[in-house]
Structure 1
Amino acid sequence: MNSKKPPTATVPRTIAENRKARHDYFIEEQLEAGLSLEGWEVKSLRAARANLKESYAIV
């Protein structure tokens, strides 16, 4: 009668993807980068309400 659940391994998943950019442009190379987020931004991402409609990056 063990009421504790065994720890589950969390699998990294894609939180957001810019589908319009993938449709409009040919992507030759893919880079992965990190961001520093504020508290309300983290809450939105955890709730799966991210919006990348007008996003851009300078590399």
Structure 2
Amino acid sequence: MKSVSTILFLLSVLLIVGAIWNTLALKRPGFYPPKQVLKKRASALAGGGGILLLVAIILSSF
């Protein structure tokens, strides 16, 4: 169970870092994907990272 929670923690960190990367890409001028696409992608990555983080915390408590 410890390895599963560790993997989930790592995945949640990767998703949250991806969300931060996409949020910072909104500030860069001339970045290709439209801002609406970047906002949707960042919110999806942050939501997935948050959910995985909660699941990992719950699994690590057992």
Output the TM-score relative to the length of structure 1. Answer: 0.20
More helix per residue: 1 or 2? 2
Q: Which has the larger radius of gyration?
A: 1
Output the TM-score relative to the length of structure 2. Answer: 0.20
